[in-house]
A and B are shown apart, each in its own frame.
Chain A
Amino acid sequence: MQDKKLFLLAIIIAILGLILLIILTSINEKTTEISEVKKLQLDSKVNLIGKLTNIEKSKDVTKFNITDETGTIKGIIFKSLELRENKLFEIKGVVKTYKNSIEIHVNSIKES
């Protein structure tokens, strides 16, 4: 195949691949229950929905507990945020351990 045709094919695949990824990543995000989080490997990404309690805010960090029907887990985000207690939030983060207990290092959080 000529280089020009190959190049055109590469551009088409790149555009189609990006479109497919947008569709797949937006429709296929399943929520994890908190009881399931403890069975996951460290550094696994999770998408949780839960109520926030015991919110503690400092200069660079906001800590809280996330609770759903199956349990409670600690969450930490390295930003100072105004979060409303007992409201339902959609949380995306990574499973980590600190002082031998599992917690979620939150990447994004929004009220659901």
Chain B
Amino acid sequence: MLNIIISLFLGILLGLISGIVPSLHINLVTIIVLSLLKSQNIIDLLTLIVSLSVSNSFFNTIPLTFFSIPDSPETSISTNPAQKFTSFGKSYEAFLLTIIGSISSLITFLIFSPLILYVYPTLFSFIKPSTSLLLLLVVLFTLIKEKTSRIWALISFLFSGLLGIFTLTSYNIKEPLLPLLSGLFAIPSMLSNLKNKEERTEQKITQPEINKFRLIKLNFLSLLCSLFSTFLPAVGPSQSAVLASSITKISLSESLILTGSLTTLNILFSLITLKTINKSRNGSLESLKDIIPKFSSNELIFSIIISIIVAGISAALAIYFARKFIKNIKSLKLDYLNKFFILLTLILVLIISKPIGILVMLTGTAIGFIPIFKNISRNHLMGCIILPVIFYTLKIL
């Protein structure tokens, strides 16, 4: 029992670190942890990985809401809403909205999980033959929904897709997601923050006003969109958000709730898919297959209980840290922080992925600037995962 508690808190701590450091992707942390602790008891490792994954989904909105750095495709969709809240001095409120989304989606998930578990295998076998066609439709849909420039959205998608194909299929690049995602998402945002040295608005602790009926509606919508996205490899929370926003009109505050909700649901649905089809949509949970070849019902129930405990602790910790941030944000040298994270990313990439990783990161950074300069959504950069998957399902790769 003591080992489980230690694993749970270690997982939360690692989730906090990987959530706050923009380039430290959860998959990389999981691989390092598993290689160091592979001789540990299965239940301890399961607790550790589930805690790490769930807590990361709470903490990974910190860089986005406080420093305008989306460190992953999951949170990139809310860059603009978060920046707008920050410009009004309401970054704490923006952060709180993502936490409300995460917690409320967990409750919705718990209510509907027995039904989802029951129907999922049938739905999956029905949809599986049409995966590549549905993926193409999702890509077309997100391109059509782009209001500013569809041409540049297509170029962003194709360039990031080509980069993804060469990076993910190469046998010379270790941990390819590290340079790929840091280059496309985190580094361009940090460089852009360094370039735009506007006077930072004073940040205050303000509370969001939430319409309970809208919150229930949003949760139900995000549950359906997340469920749909589980059938399609590479389609993540950012594409689910585009889908959700096309079904109903979503305000700035609601898009932040949606981000929290979709990111947490992405992890929780991975537990369901691990049990029902022995596949996970999340890299960290997928690594559980090396420890537990067949994920049983008992392990699923145990993981859900751990998720509930971790969600509660993570939400409380996240709010505590956010309040500390707000009080001390004036003394924080954001320029230094951005430079530190860029340097840290460079060192990590050089050590883990070697010089070829730096080339991937540099190319990714150049591609990642296209949406920033052209003011289009960054979810088109998810081409880095979606295009290789389309090619793979069509047996081109």
A residues apposed to B, CB below 8 Å: 3, 6-7, 9-14, 17-18, 20-22, 24-25, 28-29, 41-47, 92, 96-99, 108
Contact = CB atoms under 8 A, between A and B. Distances in A.
B363 interface: yes
Contacts of A98: 293
B386 interface: no
A98 B278 CA distance: 14
Interface in B171-197: 171-174
Interface stretch (B55-63, B79-87, B297-305, B366-374): B366-374
A18 B35 contact: no
Contact of B370 (A10, A17, A22): A10
A47 B171 contact: yes
Nearest to A22: B166
Contact of A20 (B31, B171, B359, B397): B359
Contacts of A29: 170-172
A92 B171 CA distance: 8
B250 interface: no
Most buried by A among B38, B167, B293, B373: B373
Contacts of B163: 17-18, 21
Interface string B270-312: 0000000000000000010010010000000000000000000
Main secondary structure of the interface of B (DSSP, over half): helix
Contacts of A14: 159, 363, 366-367, 370
Interface string B15-55: 00000000000000001001100100000000000000000
B272 to A, nearest CB: 20
Contact of B373 (A7, A21, A28): A7
Nearest to B38: A42
B376 to A, nearest CB: 13
B171 A24 contact: no
A6 B368 CA distance: 13
B172 A13 contact: no
A18 B171 contact: no
The 5 A-B pairs of least Cβ separation, nearest first, read A17-B363, A13-B366, A14-B366, A25-B170, A10-B369
Most buried by B among A3, A6, A17, A20: A17
A9 B362 CA distance: 12
A17 B184 CA distance: 13
B367 A21 contact: no
B373 A3 contact: yes
A13 B370 contact: no
B367 A42 contact: no
B290 A96 contact: yes
B329 interface: no
Contacts of A28: 172, 356
Nearest to A108: B397
A42 B288 CA distance: 13
15 contacts: A10-B366, A11-B366, A11-B370, A12-B366, A14-B366, A17-B359, A17-B360, A20-B363, A21-B163, A21-B166, A24-B359, A28-B172, A29-B171, A44-B174, A98-B293
Given A42-B35, A108-B397, A25 B166 contact: yes
A45 B363 CA distance: 22
Interface string B369-395: 110010000000000000000000000
A10 B366 CA distance: 4
A20 B294 CA distance: 42
Nearest to A94: B171
B380 to A, nearest CB: 14
B162 interface: yes
Contacts of B31: 43
A7 B188 CA distance: 12
A13 B171 contact: no
A27 to B, nearest CB: 10
Nearest to A92: B171
A100 to B, nearest CB: 11
Contacts of B359: 17, 20-21, 24
Contacts of B373: 3, 6-7, 10
Contact of A13 (B356, B363, B397): B363
Contacts of B167: 21
B381 to A, nearest CB: 12
B180 to A, nearest CB: 11
Given A28-B356, A29-B170, 14 more contacts: A6-B369, A6-B373, A12-B366, A18-B166, A21-B360, A21-B363, A25-B169, A25-B170, A29-B172, A41-B35, A92-B171, A97-B290, A98-B293, A108-B397
